[in-house]
């Protein structure tokens, strides 16, 4: 049953309004789902629709839009309902990849570079993640934070390029490739193994690159820096040569951390402390010299000292016993023998070693024992009494067995006393050149036969198991040992080139420079200073294959390295050309010119060093490599941002590499996020199953949700990630998307800024007030971006969307936007404000909500000169928010007025709520108010008298001067509104029915309808 809509009015005196309105709202299907246009002027409406004024049946199905409006059909068409193609449902998993394709096609990163060309530079230098697996929530947090910073600096006007980097060399990859290759590896040349490792690293570089892009990170992704490119490898080598040529480098025997499992030396940064149970022994070392030299009371006695060690396997390497020079020692007589131990520990030792009835014979300082000779408990060896400050009085006996080949401090003591530091433990941890009882055994397996040996020689006084914190390999988690090996070192004590002398060393200068860096959080300064203060020389060599070789020629006859600047340059050039692989090819064989001789022994034959560099030296050279590639980048960079473990790692190695090549730190500032934990505060790991995979979240909820989660956490603390939190962030995302962006865009469908924008001075006071609020929010947000306080932005924006906009501003201006004549100044004023708020917020949030703000940007009115992408735009200035530069940023009078008005509004809302509860009214528009107030409140209310009914969303406000009550001195009386309900705007008015053409509408709406009909303002 179809009715021809409009035909029944052809006879009316005025032209049929609805036809013209239909054309006016031509593109407006959603409200017309039940009608079809059959010609320019005719629409068919299905049964039940209203076909003439005064009859007014409702078509419930079409006309219920929102709870507040239920309007006869043809009147409904005169309402400026929101319309926008910006969807309520974001469908991020589906739409983000499309946006990424668009960005890829338009080369957004290059366009941004072009747009910021010549602007001041801001360089956040990326720390390279390791290429041995997919990204996880921690890496996503890291990259999102960097992306927020880079994008916010870009929008603040800086040229902020971002070159992502990857750390591709090193043990974990080599081990994984070893496993894949199995026994085959032994038959393969180093080059073939390196090719396999390269493939492996490239695979994960490609995967991580894809994953970082998926979460919306912008950067020079098609040409990242990677530690395995020829250019990068050549810079690693030239960084080393810079140290080498300035005398920082030496090759020497040194007790270094050694992983027997991985068969390599480890840096301090590669060692982690874990609990380990050791066999601990108390061992007697007999004094060979005359005890009377210590004290006359000991003359003729059988004297020993007692050492204590948790590593019995190091006893074959025992070369000395160390005493503290200043601490007091005691000689205890028991069972016919005398034992020397520290006084402070004497009671404890006597108990453990079962010394019956111990009697002190003499007390003396440790220094009296220096250079005395003791007897090794099972080898034919004199063991020297030595002094050392590191001997402590908290555990053991106060006497430290010293094996220079198996301890860092022992080694240093050994150098001082000229002790033998030869290691008789091979790279697999097997003891060599000793007694048959333990030779050929691995260190841990040697403990037991050595304890038996001590027992059989009568030297063992006590043994027990001790659990203690012990260094472990951070890669394979096996306990490590100290082992003296020939290694390459960078000396921390080398005087700085061109410096102030021998006290101006790499260590002291680095400590000075640390103070000039901005550490965020501030504890970073002390943490790194303490590490630099106490760190040993940097062991930079590793005995592996997958890395940059220490490309130095060694004399075949004396083994000494050839340090020739011209040859060094040639190798660097070769690496730049052919990559570090060239060290393993004949290409590098001809670098040493014929006739070159060893300056030490005169030999003319050289071989190539086979060690590779510590990967920390490689990644430490990353900014040097980047500015080698981009010479226009400034030195130093502005910011490094990595986790707290990088104080031992990348922050430190980068600092030392920079100090050794340029004499200043590579960064002005260093920021450290906390760890990413699960809801129980535990570290996330795939194996534990408590990890939140950012790629999975992106695929299910959206990359934007991962980003917003990052913004929601206070990253300087440890942060918590979980499925539940992601879902909660998703809820917040919907609030921002709909309460702010969709609401705003929906009301801008007929707004053309150049034609319709209202100058600030002519805007409605509420709109002006909201623009001031928006500017204040903008300023806060920009300051928080500068402080990297993204969680505060998140909180403020949520509050702004939900409280300031949705529950207040948008609620109030709905009436103006929907029911005022489309081109009325009241409506245009609100649209102007909504447009400026939406523009400002899209720009302000683009660094965080990169996908959504770009989407919003495409739906905002296009104006001349506006960049194609929000990511090329700038943050809003005051002149953008107010629309002109002459508006003062603050308006104290306006602000004061609104503090008063909002105070009254609070009271009104409360009064309305009470009235609603007592069933006096339903919707607030059914109410009218009487406000009784005295000054100063009264004059403010009077000044805004015409606005009050809109502000409170009631049908009428009656203002009376008199003594009020309440906190603001205003009394609020609520009554049922007089008159009838307007069918169009739902306000109550006593004048509904006055207009005979439109008998069901109020005087306001009647004016609007006449205007629409005549096309002339009424
Ligand atoms: Zn290991
Ligand atoms: Zn030589
Ligand atoms: Zn009305």
Ligand nearest to the CA of 272: 1
Residue 819 Cα to ligand 3 middle (Å): 7
Ligand nearest to the CA of 989: 3
pLDDT for 43 equals: 33
Ligand nearest to the CA of 475: 1
731: nearest Cα among 141, 90, 144: 90
Residue 706 Cα to ligand 1 middle (Å): 34
Distance CA 566, CA 562 (A): 11
* Token reading at 886: 């002459």
Residue 1001 Cα to ligand 3 middle (Å): 5
Ligand nearest to the CA of 258: 1
Residue 1006 Cα to ligand 3 middle (Å): 7
Q: Is the pLDDT of residue 17 over 80?
A: no
Ligand nearest to the CA of 477: 1
Residue 950 Cα to ligand 3 middle (Å): 13
Give just the sign of the alpha carbon dihedral 525, 529, 535, 540: positive
pLDDT for 72 equals: 58
**Confidence class of residue 15 from pLDDT cuts 50, 70 and 90?**
very low
Residue 774 Cα to ligand 3 middle (Å): 30
SS3 readout for 271-312: EEEEEEEEEEEEEEEEECCCHHHCCHHHCCCCEEEEEEECCH
DSSP class per residue in 919-937? TS-SSGGGEEEEEEE-TTH
Contacts of 477 (CB under 8 A, 6+ apart): 272, 274
Residue 133 Cα to ligand 1 middle (Å): 19
The angle, 0 to 180 degrees and rounded to 10, between the axes of the packed helices 1003-1014 and 810-819 is 50
Q: Is the pLDDT of residue 26 over 70?
A: no
* Token reading at 256: 């270094």
Ligand nearest to the CA of 986: 3
Q: Is the pLDDT of residue 70 over 60?
A: no
Ligand nearest to the CA of 71: 3
* Token reading at 966: 């309440």
- The pLDDT of 419-424, averaged and rounded, is 89
* Token reading at 920: 């006096």
- Token pair 């939900």 is found at 802
Residue 490 Cα to ligand 2 middle (Å): 22
pLDDT for 75 equals: 83
Residue 817 Cα to ligand 3 middle (Å): 13
810: nearest Cα among 950, 942, 905, 946: 950
Distance CA 146, CA 215 (A): 12
Give just the sign of the alpha carbon dihedral 655, 658, 659, 663: negative
* Least confident span in 347-356, 757-766, 844-853, 913-922: 913-922
- Token pair 């995979």 is found at 693
Residue 461 Cα to ligand 1 middle (Å): 34
Residue 265 Cα to ligand 1 middle (Å): 9
Instruction: Say how many C-beta atoms besides its own lie within 10 A of residue 855's C-beta.
Output: 23
In DSSP terms, which residues pair with 670 in a beta bridge?
A: 519, 640
Q: Is the pLDDT of residue 21 over 70?
A: no
Report the share of the chain in percent with pLDDT over 70: 92
981: nearest Cα among 958, 1005, 997: 1005
Residue 600 Cα to ligand 2 middle (Å): 5
- The pLDDT of 889-906, averaged and rounded, is 92
Cα 498 from chain centroid (whole Å): 38
Residues 301-333 as b/e (b if ≥16 CB within 10 A, e otherwise) read bebbbbbbbbbbbbbbbbbbbbbbbebebbbbb
Ligand nearest to the CA of 69: 3
Residue 506 Cα to ligand 1 middle (Å): 30
Q: Is the pLDDT of residue 29 over 50?
A: no
pLDDT for 788 equals: 98
* Least confident span in 88-92, 385-389, 526-530, 681-685: 681-685
Contacts of 398 (CB under 8 A, 6+ apart): 323, 324, 327, 329, 341, 342, 343, 344, 345, 366, 391, 392
- The pLDDT of 29-42, averaged and rounded, is 34
Residue 960 Cα to ligand 3 middle (Å): 25
Residue 266 Cα to ligand 1 middle (Å): 8
pLDDT for 408 equals: 86
Please answer whether residues 163 and 626 qualify as being in contact, where contact means their C-beta atoms are separated by less than 8 angstroms.
yes
Residue 269 Cα to ligand 3 middle (Å): 74
Q: Is the pLDDT of residue 39 over 80?
A: no
Residue 32 Cα to ligand 3 middle (Å): 22
Ligand nearest to the CA of 544: 1
Distance CA 198, CA 202 (A): 6
Alpha helices by DSSP H, 221-281:
230-245
Residue 568 Cα to ligand 2 middle (Å): 18
**Confidence class of residue 833 from pLDDT cuts 50, 70 and 90?**
very high
Q: Is the pLDDT of residue 63 over 60?
A: no
The angle, 0 to 180 degrees and rounded to 10, between the axes of the packed helices 650-661 and 622-629 is 60
Please answer whether residues 818 and 66 qualify as being in contact, where contact means their C-beta atoms are separated by less than 8 angstroms.
no
Residue 251 Cα to ligand 2 middle (Å): 14
Q: Is the pLDDT of residue 8 over 70?
A: no
CA distances from 395 to 41, 230, 399, 403, 946 (A): 100, 52, 10, 19, 85
Q: Is the pLDDT of residue 269 over 90?
A: no
Residue 178 Cα to ligand 1 middle (Å): 14
Give just the sign of the alpha carbon dihedral 101, 106, 107, 110: negative
**Confidence class of residue 339 from pLDDT cuts 50, 70 and 90?**
very high
Residue 808 Cα to ligand 3 middle (Å): 21
Total residues found in the chain within this entry? 1018
Distance CA 370, CA 958 (A): 102
242 three-class SS: helix
Ligand nearest to the CA of 481: 1
SS3 readout for 723-744: HHHHHHHHHHHHHHHHHHHHHH
Q: Is the pLDDT of residue 497 over 60?
A: yes
* Token reading at 330: 């005691």
Ligand nearest to the CA of 266: 1
**What does the pLDDT look like over 866-891, one tens digit per residue?**
999 999 999 999 999 999 999 999 99
Q: Is the pLDDT of residue 978 over 80?
A: yes
Residue 262 Cα to ligand 1 middle (Å): 5
Long-range pairs for 35-44: beta carbons < 8 A, 24 or more residues apart: 35/5, 41/6, 42/4, 42/5, 42/6, 42/7, 43/5, 43/6, 43/18, 43/19, 44/2, 44/3, 44/4, 44/5
Please answer whether residues 546 and 581 qualify as being in contact, where contact means their C-beta atoms are separated by less than 8 angstroms.
no
Contacts of 847 (CB under 8 A, 6+ apart): 147, 148, 151, 152, 155, 785
- Residues lining ion ligand 3 (Cβ < 5 A) are 982, 984-985, 1002, 1004-1005
Ligand nearest to the CA of 605: 2
* Least confident span in 26-35, 90-99, 849-858: 26-35
pLDDT for 28 equals: 32
Residue 560 Cα to ligand 2 middle (Å): 6
- Of residues 91 and 967, more confidence is placed in 91
Residue 984 Cα to ligand 3 middle (Å): 5
DSSP class per residue in 169-208? -SHHHHHHHHHHHTTHHHHS-HHHHHHHHHHHHHHHHHHH
* Least confident span in 57-61, 118-122, 996-1000: 57-61
In DSSP terms, which residues pair with 877 in a beta bridge?
A: none
Residue 601 Cα to ligand 2 middle (Å): 4
Residue 442 Cα to ligand 1 middle (Å): 15
DSSP class per residue in 633-697? S-SSEEEEE--GGGGTTHHHHHHHHHHHHTSS-SEEEEE----EE-TTSPBP-TTTT----HHHH
Distance CA 848, CA 793 (A): 10
Distance CA 162, CA 152 (A): 12
Q: If you average pLDDT over every residue of the chain, what do you get?
A: 89
């Amino acid at each position: 049953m179809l009715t021809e809509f409009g035909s029944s009015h052809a006879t009316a005196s005025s032209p049929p309004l609805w036809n013209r309105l239909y054309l006016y709202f031509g593109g407006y299907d959603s409200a017309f789902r039940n009608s079809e246009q059959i010609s320019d002027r005719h629409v068919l409406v299905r049964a039940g629709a209203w076909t003439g004024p005064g009859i007014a049946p409702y078509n419930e199905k079409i006309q219920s839009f929102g709870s507040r409006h239920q309007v006869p059909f043809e009147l409904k068409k005169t309402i400026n309902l929101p319309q926008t193609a910006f969807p309520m449902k974001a469908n991020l998993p589906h739409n983000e990849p499309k946006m990424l394709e668009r960005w890829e096609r338009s080369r957004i990163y290059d366009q941004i570079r072009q747009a910021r060309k010549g602007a001041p530079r801001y360089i956040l230098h990326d720390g390279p993640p390791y290429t041995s697996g997919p990204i996880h929530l921690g890496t996503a947090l890291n990259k999102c934070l960097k992306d927020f910073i880079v994008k916010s600096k870009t929008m603040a006007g800086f040229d902020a390029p971002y070159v992502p980097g990857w750390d591709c060399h090193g043990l974990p990859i080599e081990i994984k490739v070893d496993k894949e290759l199995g026994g085959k590896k032994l038959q393969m040349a180093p080059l073939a193994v390196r090719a396999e490792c390269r493939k492996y690293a490239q695979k994960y570089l490609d995967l991580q690159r894809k994953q970082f892009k998926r979460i919306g990170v912008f950067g020079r992704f098609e040409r990242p820096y990677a530690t395995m490119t020829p250019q990068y490898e050549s810079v690693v080598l030239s960084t080393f040569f810079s140290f080498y040529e300035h005398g920082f480098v030496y090759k020497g025997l040194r007790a270094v951390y050694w992983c027997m499992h991985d068969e390599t030396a480890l840096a301090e940064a590669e060692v982690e402390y874990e609990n380990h149970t050791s066999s601990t022994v108390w061992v007697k070392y007999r004094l060979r010299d005359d005890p009377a030299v210590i004290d006359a009371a000991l003359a003729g006695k059988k004297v020993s000292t007692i050492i204590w060690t948790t590593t019995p396997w190091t006893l074959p390497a025992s070369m000395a016993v160390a005493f503290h020079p200043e601490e007091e020692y005691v000689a205890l007589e028991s069972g016919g023998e005398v034992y020397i131990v520290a006084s402070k520990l004497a009671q404890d030792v006597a108990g453990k070693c079962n010394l019956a009835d111990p009697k002190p014979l003499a007390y003396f300082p440790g220094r009296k024992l220096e250079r005395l000779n003791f007897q090794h408990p099972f080898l034919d060896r004199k063991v020297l009494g030595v002094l050392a400050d590191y001997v402590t009085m908290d555990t053991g006996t106060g006497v430290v067995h010293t094996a220079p080949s198996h301890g860092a401090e022992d080694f240093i003591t050994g150098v001082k006393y000229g002790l033998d530091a030869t290691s008789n433990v091979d790279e697999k941890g097997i003891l060599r050149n000793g007694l048959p009882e333990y030779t050929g055994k691995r260190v841990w397996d040697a403990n037991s036969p050595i304890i038996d040996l001590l027992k059989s020689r009568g030297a063992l006084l006590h043994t027990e198991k001790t659990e203690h914190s012990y260094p472990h390999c951070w890669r394979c988690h096996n306990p490590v040992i100290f082992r003296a090996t020939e290694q390459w070192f960078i000396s921390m004590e080398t005087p700085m080139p061109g410096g102030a002398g021998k006290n101006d060393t790499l260590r002291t200068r680095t400590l000075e420079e640390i103070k000039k860096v901005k550490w965020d959080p501030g504890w970073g300064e002390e943490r790194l200073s303490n590490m630099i203060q106490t760190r040993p020389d940097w062991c930079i060599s590793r005995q592996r294959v997958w890395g940059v070789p220490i490309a130095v020629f060694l004399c075949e006859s004396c083994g000494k390295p050839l340090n020739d600047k011209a040859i060094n340059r040639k190798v660097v050039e070769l690496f730049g050309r052919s990559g570090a692989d060239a060290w393993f090819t004949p290409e590098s064989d001809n670098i040493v010119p014929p006739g070159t001789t060893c300056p030490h022994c005169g030999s003319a034959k050289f071989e190539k060093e086979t060690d590779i560099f510590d990967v920390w030296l490689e990644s430490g050279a990353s900014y040097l490599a980047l500015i080698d590639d981009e010479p226009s980048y400034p030195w130093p960079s502005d910011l490094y941002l990595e986790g707290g473990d990088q104080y031992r790692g990348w922050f430190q190695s980068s600092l030392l590499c920079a100090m050794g090549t340029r004499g200043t730190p590579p960064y002005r500032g260093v920021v450290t996020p906390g760890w990413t934990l699960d809801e129980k505060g535990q570290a996330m790991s795939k194996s534990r199953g408590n990890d939140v995979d950012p790629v999975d979240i992106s695929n299910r909820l959206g990359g934007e949700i991962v980003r917003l989660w990052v913004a929601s956490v206070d990253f300087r603390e440890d942060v918590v990630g979980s499925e539940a939190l992601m879902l909660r962030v998703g809820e917040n995302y919907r609030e921002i998307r709909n309460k702010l962006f969709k609401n705003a865009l929906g009301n801008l469908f007929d707004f053309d800024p150049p034609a319709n924008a209202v100058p600030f001075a002519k805007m409605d006071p509420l709109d002006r007030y909201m623009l001031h609020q928006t500017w204040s929010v903008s300023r806060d947000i920009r300051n928080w971006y500068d402080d990297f306080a993204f969680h505060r932005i998140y909180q403020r924006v949520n509050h702004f969307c939900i409280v300031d906009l949705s529950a207040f501003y948008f609620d109030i201006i709905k009436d103006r936007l929907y029911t005022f004549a489309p081109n009325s100044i009241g409506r245009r004023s609100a649209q102007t404000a909504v447009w400026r708020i939406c523009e400002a917020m899209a720009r302000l949030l683009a660094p965080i909500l990169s996908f959504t703000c770009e989407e919003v940007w495409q739906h905002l009115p296009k104006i001349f000169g506006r960049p194609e992408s929000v990511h090329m735009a700038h943050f809003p200035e005051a002149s953008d928010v107010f629309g002109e530069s002459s508006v003062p940023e603050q308006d104290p009078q306006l602000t004061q007025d609104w503090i008063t008005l909002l105070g009254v509004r609070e009271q009104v809302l409360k009064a309305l709520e009470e009235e609603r509860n007592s069933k006096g009214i339903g919707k607030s528009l059914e109410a009218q108010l009487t406000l009784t107030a005295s000054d100063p409140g009264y004059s403010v209310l009077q000044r805004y008298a015409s606005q009050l009914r809109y502000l409170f969303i009631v049908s009428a406000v009656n203002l009376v001067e008199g003594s009020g009550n309440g906190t603001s001195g205003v009394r609020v009386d609520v009554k049922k509104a007089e008159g009838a309900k307007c069918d169009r705007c739902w306000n109550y008015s006593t004048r509904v029915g006055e207009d005979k053409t439109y008998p069901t509408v109020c005087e306001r709406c009647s004016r609007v309808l006449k205007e629409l009909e005549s096309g002339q303002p009424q």
